[in-house]
C-alpha cells in the first residue's frame, strides 16, 4: 500500500481522524485550513498511508536547517490508528521518511515525543534513534 504525500483536500481530510487521536485539541472544521497554512508558511508536509479507502497512519514533517544540526528533517506528527497498531504501518511511514531524508540531503532526523508515549519510544529506539536532549516548554 502506497504512502501518499497529501496535497489534495481529500487526502488531507482523510488524515484528520488519525491526527485527532494524537492531537485531541484539533477541530475538524479548522483542520484542512490549518494544514494548508502550515504547508504554505512553514513547508509542512503531510503523508498518509491509506488502505481500503481509510487512513491507517500519517505523519507530518518539515525539512529544516539550523546552526546546531545542519540540514535535518523534523517530524512534527507521527500516528498509527490506535486500533491498528503493530501491523507495520509506522515502519512503512518511517521507511518512506528515511528515503525522503536522503533525497533531501538531510544529515539527521529529529522529533519530540511526549514522556508518556512508551510504545512510541520503543519504536523510535528500535529504529536506531537516540534520546539526545530534553525539551523544555513555557506556555503563556
79 near 21, Cβ under 8 Å? yes
**pLDDT value of residue 131:** 78
pLDDT in tens, 41-51: 999 999 999 88
**pLDDT value of residue 118:** 61
| pLDDT digits (tens), the chain, 140 positions | 789 999 999 999 999 999 999 999 999 999 999 999 999 999 999 999 988 888 999 999 999 999 999 999 999 999 999 888 888 898 999 999 999 999 999 999 888 777 677 677 777 787 787 878 777 776 67
- Within 13 Å and on the Cβ side, how many CA atoms surround 82? 8
Question: Which residues, in sequence order, are bridge partners of residue 55?
Answer: 50
The model's pTM is 0.85
**pLDDT value of residue 86:** 82
Give the span between the Cα atoms of 25 and 90, in whole angstroms: 23
**pLDDT value of residue 138:** 64
Task: Quickly tell me which residue has 507521527 as its cell.
Answer: 78
All structural domains of the chain with their residue ranges: 3-126
**Could you give the angle at the alpha carbon of 18 between the alpha carbons of 17 and 23, nearest 5°?**
95
**pLDDT value of residue 120:** 73
Fold classified for 3-126: Aminopeptidase (3.40.630)
Q: Which residues contact 137 (CB under 8 A, 6 or more apart)?
A: none
Q: Which residues contact 53 (CB under 8 A, 6 or more apart)?
A: none
Amino acid at each position: 500500500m502506497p504512502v501518499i504525500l497529501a496535497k489534495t483536500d481529500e487526502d488531507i481530510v482523510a488524515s484528520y481522524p488519525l491526527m485527532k487521536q494524537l492531537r485531541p485539541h484539533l477541530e475538524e472544521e479548522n483542520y484542512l485550513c490549518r494544514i494548508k497554512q502550515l504547508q504554505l508558511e512553514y513547508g509542512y508536509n503531510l503523508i498518509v498511508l491509506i488502505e481500503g479507502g481509510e487512513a491507517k497512519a500519517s505523519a507530518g514533517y518539515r525539512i529544516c536547517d539550523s546552526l546546531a544540526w545542519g540540514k535535518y528533517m523534523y517530524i512534527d506528527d507521527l500516528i498509527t490508528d490506535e486500533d491498528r497498531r503493530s501491523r507495520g504501518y509506522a515502519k512503512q511511514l518511517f521507511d518512506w521518511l528515511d528515503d525522503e531524508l536522503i533525497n533531501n540531503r538531510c544529515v539527521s532526523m529529529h522529533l519530540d515525543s511526549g514522556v508518556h508515549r512508551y510504545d512510541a519510544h520503543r519504536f523510535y529506539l528500535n529504529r536506531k534513534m537516540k534520546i539526545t536532549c530534553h525539551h523544555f516548554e513555557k506556555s503563556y
